[in-house]
């Protein structure tokens, strides 16, 4: 039996300076722990991550990457709303 493909999630992390970091992962909690430990993205190594403010399952890695790029193009004030509304 083939291994099922993992479900990818798009997530937003609030940083100590008030900025938002968008990323994708198959396990959001594990990925946030990596960010908090300084082993995540370069951005979160210099902008201390505080909490995951929103996340949503988006399907395949390809879908997640496309959704991440679309989210990053939005103004800050619309990012959380865009991620928490129904797809």
Q: What pLDDT sits at residue 30?
A: 97
Q: What pLDDT sits at residue 4?
A: 77
Q: Distance (Å, rounded) from C-alpha 12 to C-alpha 50?
A: 11
Q: What pLDDT sits at residue 3?
A: 59
Q: What pLDDT sits at residue 80?
A: 87
Number of other CB atoms surrounding residue 28 within 10 Å? 20
Name all domains of the chain by residue range, CATH numbers in brackets: 8-84 (3.40.1440.10)
Q: What pLDDT sits at residue 82?
A: 86
28-32 contacts, C-beta under 8 A, 24 or more apart? 28/52, 28/55
Residues of the chain whose pLDDT is less than 50?
A: none
Q: Tell me the pTM.
A: 0.89
Q: What pLDDT sits at residue 77?
A: 85
Q: What pLDDT sits at residue 27?
A: 97
Q: What pLDDT sits at residue 2?
A: 56
């Amino acid at each position: 039996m083939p291994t099922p493909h993992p479900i990818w999630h798009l997530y937003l992390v609030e940083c100590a300076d008030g900025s938002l970091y968008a990323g994708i992962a198959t396990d959001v909690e594990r990925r946030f722990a990596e960010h908090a430990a300084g082993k995540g993205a370069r951005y979160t190594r210099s902008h201390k991550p505080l909490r995951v403010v929103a996340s949503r399952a988006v399907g395949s890695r390809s879908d997640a990457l496309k959704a991440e790029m679309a989210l990053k193009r939005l103004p800050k004030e619309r990012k959380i709303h865009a991620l928490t509304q129904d797809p």
